[in-house]
Every structure is written in structure tokens, then in C-alpha cells.
Structure 1
Amino acid sequence: MKLTGIILAGGKSSRMGTNKALLKVNSVSVISRIKRELSYYCDSLFVVTNDPGLYTFLDVPITEDHYKNKGPLAGIHAGLSESSTEWNLVVACDVPLINSQALSVLTRIVESKQGRNADVILPIASGRYHPMLALYRKSVLPEVTKAIKANRLKLMDVIHLLNVVEVDERGHGVPEKAWEECFFNMNNPAEYEEICNRF
């Protein structure tokens, strides 16, 4: 199975006060860490952003939203539109502790009996859904497009219309801490400092 990695580098980072993707943890930018982890699982990889000049250093293709100012749903739309593979690993740019233990679980499920009829492989960690680090089948693009055109921009509202396989760490041999860390999204300076102190 071929898999495309789609890094969404769109958000305004208002609570952080600076671009989260470019913050460095142990001398490596968060988005570079994400690129490195995705490269182990994905056959191709690109970034969706409306500031393409900021990410040329990653040396990967870059595409922009087709629908501006429509939030994460527009980023997923742009990514799926650009992708040439059936399955796509969509990742927001603010998950500095992304790790192979969790990613291997998600990618295995795509090829399992569970994933056969799924549209979305949706992780659950710390009691919450994580649609911004999830696997999407390209065939959901029409539903995503319809939602954007109707200005229905809540991602989970769209996901609830699809065939979803929910996944947590149970039964997959992944320690709970490693699973939860993978989906931890860094939103403010205190959380950034906490991450930096781990390295």
C-alpha cells in the first residue's frame, strides 16, 4: 500500500504568539521532526500552507489551500486534492512528540480487515479524538468539498458522516504514555517550554 503524508502548516498560532511549526526542540524545528517521522511510513510527502516561502528548507513539494480562510478542513481538502494515493496520513504541524510506535499502529490498521471499508482511521488519546493526526481515504474528498462550500467547517461534523474506525493504544502493544505523547499538540509558550525540558 502506498501512503502520502500531508503536513498541515496553516494555523495562526495565536496562543503561541509565533509560528509553532518553526519552533525548535533540541535544535530541530517541529515541522522537521514531523517530516522525519512521516518519511519512514510515507511514499511521498508534502506540506499544505499559505506561506510557502517559510517551508522551502524542507525540500518537499508545497501546495496551498484552494479555499482560503476555511480552517483545517480546507487544508485537508488541498492535501487530498493533491494526493495520488488512496490513503493519506494528515498531520498538523504542532505535534512535536510524534512517534513511530503510534504511527505504525495507524498504518497497520489501514491494511487490516478493520480498515477495508473505512474512510477515516481516527485516533483517540487522552479521551479525545485527534482528527489532525489521522488517516483519510482520498474518496472522502467530495464530502469535504461539499462541507466547505456549505460553510460547514467543523471537521468532526464531517467525519461523523463517514465510515470511521476509532483507534486507541489498547491491544496494540504501545505504552499509554507513548501513545498520548504522539498526539499532544503544543499550543502555548508554557507547553513549548515543557516539551523543551524533556530533551
Structure 2
Amino acid sequence: MPPRVTGYVLAGGRSSRMGQDKALLQIDGETLLARAVAKLRDICGDVYILGAYPAYADFAPLAPDLHPDCGPMSGLEAALAHCPSDWALVLPVDLPCLPVALLREWIEAALSSSTTRLALFTVDGIPQPTVALLHRAVLPYLAASIARGRYKLYPVLREAAAALTAEQGVAEDAVLADTVVADDAGWFRNVNTPEEFAAVQAATASERE
């Protein structure tokens, strides 16, 4: 993967529905955080963790939020503000089944266009804005949204795409690469509750048999 892509694990959530820090839960003896970091290292030259919990620094360097308590928007803003390259790849810690091969193919397709500034997934008709490939040009729109107290990520990213479309004078789908996926394999299963985690553990064990 070109060095202009830097990887970030979105791991700063409160895990309130899980009842414990989900980033440190283990599948096959490996924490979800270590699993996410390893995937990004397969793709990106440099990898960081979005968050400020000292225990996370054992896995990769930290990139703390500039504006805490604004949800995932805080993390994406922090990634782009910190990013030393043109592009930030953000991967949530709670998607342990997402394959590296899918991410690599998706990124290569997005970067093949000189006009693309955002790449996202839509899975079974539902946008997944926390899995994001973002150009540094998106940062001002995230910062402005946070300043206005608007923290819903997907609408803000669509607005950023519309503004960048007007700026470049191209079609919106030339700026926003929205990859539509039917998740028959369960790649985008979230781990937010004990029940969801147990289901992922069972599916992973079944795949080994």
C-alpha cells in the first residue's frame, strides 16, 4: 500500500453496552485491539490508535481526540489532524471479522481515481461511516461540524463530499467512493454487546473446525 495512507484504529468508545472495555476482549487469545492493529499494519506503513487510554499504548502509538466526547466524529477529526500522509484509513476496533483483502482491494480502487476524497461502505443498505478512507481535505468539514455541535458522522461526510464535489467541479460519485456490499459472510458484524461478542466467538470457532 502506498505510504500516503496512515492507519488508525477507532478505539475510544465507552463500551457501555458491553460492560467492559471491548477493545481488550480476546478472540483466539488475541485482543480486538491487537487484531485491528495487525490488520492495519498489513495495509499501512504507520498505524496509530485513536484514544487516550494508557493501556492502549502497548499496542501502537496513541492519537488522542482534540475534542473528546463527540463520538466517532472526534476520532476521525483526530486522525486527519494527526495524519502525516495524504490519507487516513480508519478501522473500528469492534469489527473483528473484516478481511484485510477486502480493505486492500477497496483502498486500491479508491486511490486509482485522482478525484476521490472519501471512501465508505454501504452494507445491506446501511452506511458504515466509521470504516473510512479520508483525504486530508475532509478535515475542515469535520472540524466545522464539531464546532457547531453536529456529531452525526454520515450526514457530515456526505456534506463534505458535496462541498468537495462543487470545489472540484466533478460528479459526486467521483469524490465519494461508496462501495455497496451484501454482507452474507458477516464481515461487518459489530461487537457491542456480550451477546454479539459470543456470536462472533462462536462463528470464529466454527470457521476453525
Same fold, judged at TM 0.5 (above):
yes
8 Å contact from structure 2 (residues 7, 40) kept in 1:
yes
Equivalent residue for 1:19? Answer: 21
8 A contact 1:119–1:162 mirrored in 2? no
What secondary structure is seen at the aligned counterpart in 2 of 1:132? strand
Q: CA deviation at 1:177?
A: 3.2
Per-residue CA deviation, residues 73-128 of structure 1 (Å, 9 max, x unaligned), is: 11111111111111111011111112123112221122223xx2122101111221
Which residue of 164, 189, 193 corresponds with 2:194? Answer: 189
* Alpha-carbon distance between aligned partners in 1 of 2:155 and 2:111, rounded to the nearest angstrom: 26
Contact 1:34/1:98 (<8 A) preserved: no
Aligned to 1:167: 179
- Residue 144 of structure 1 and its aligned partner are, at CA, apart by 0.6
The 5-angstrom pairing of residues 129-148 of structure 1 reads 129-148=127-146
User: What residue number does 1:173 align with?
Assistant: none
The code of the aligned residue for 1:177 comes to D
Q: Could you list the per-position Cα deviations for residues 150-184 of structure 1 after superposition, in whole angstroms to 9, with x for gaps in the alignment?
A: 101110121111332110248xxxxx534x41x22
TM norm structure 1:
0.89
C-alpha separation in 2, matches of 1:118 and 1:133: 16
Match of residue 36, structure 1, among 29, 38, 46 = 38
Instruction: Label 1:169 to 1:157 Cα distance change in 2 as closer, same or farther (>3 A).
Output: closer
Find the aligned partners of 2:177 and 2:103 in 1 and give their Cα distance: 15
Q: Distance in 1 between matches of 2:123 and 2:181?
A: 8
Distance across 2 between alignment mates of 1:30 and 1:147: 30
Off by >4 Å, runs of 4+ in structure 1: none
How many angstroms apart in 1 are the aligned matches of 2:184 and 2:80? 31
CA separation in 2, counterparts of 1:177 and 1:105? 18
Residues 45-76 of structure 1: CA deviation (Å, up to 9, x unaligned): 1011132x121221x21121111211111111
1:42-191 alignment to 2 at 5 Å? 42-51=44-53, 53-58=54-59, 60-113=60-113, 116-163=114-161, 164-169=176-181, 176-178=183-185, 180-181=186-187, 183-191=188-196
The question of whether the paired residues in 2 share the 8 Å contact of 1:124 and 1:168 is answered with: yes
Deviation at 1:135, TM superposition (A): 0.6
Unpaired runs of 5+ residues, structure 1, are 171-175
**Higher Cα Rg, which structure:** 2
